[in-house]
Amino acid sequence: MSHKEDSYKFKKVISIGIVSELTGLSQRQIRYYEERKLIFPDRSKGARKYSFDDVERLMDIADKREEGVTTREIRKELTKEVREKMLKGQMNAHFRLRG
């Protein structure tokens, strides 16, 4: 699947109420995960807006919490994933320039 076909997943257009319905999490829980720096919604006129990617992440967070994983552990894992993606992107850019 190309990035263009997948790009809808990353558009921040979903309200917190819809995210709550889709995930089964309360709005309070969703805001808590934002406070813990596990999710990063956009703000539009004061309202939080989420993407389908955020919805998937919230469902993953909820599953991990049910398994007893702490929010601190989840944040460490998220930080590691972000670093790995950045490094992979830098390496891809480096080798494309040379190739």
User: What domains, with CATH codes, occur in the chain?
Assistant: 3-98 (1.10.1660.10)
Stated pTM of the model: 0.78
Question: For the residues 27-33, what does the mean pLDDT come to?
Answer: 97
Q: What is the pLDDT of residue 99?
A: 47
Q: What integer is the mean pLDDT of 31-50? A: 93
Q: What per-residue confidence (pLDDT) applies to 6?
A: 66
Which pLDDT score, from 0 to 100, does residue 41 have? 95
**Amino acid letter, 80:** K
Identify the DSSP state of 91: H
Pick 42 or 2 by higher pLDDT: 42
Structure-block tokens of residue 33? 């995960």
CA proximity to 62, closest of 84, 87, 39:
39
Cα distances (angstroms) measured from residue 7 to each of 52, 77, 92, 94: 10, 24, 20, 24
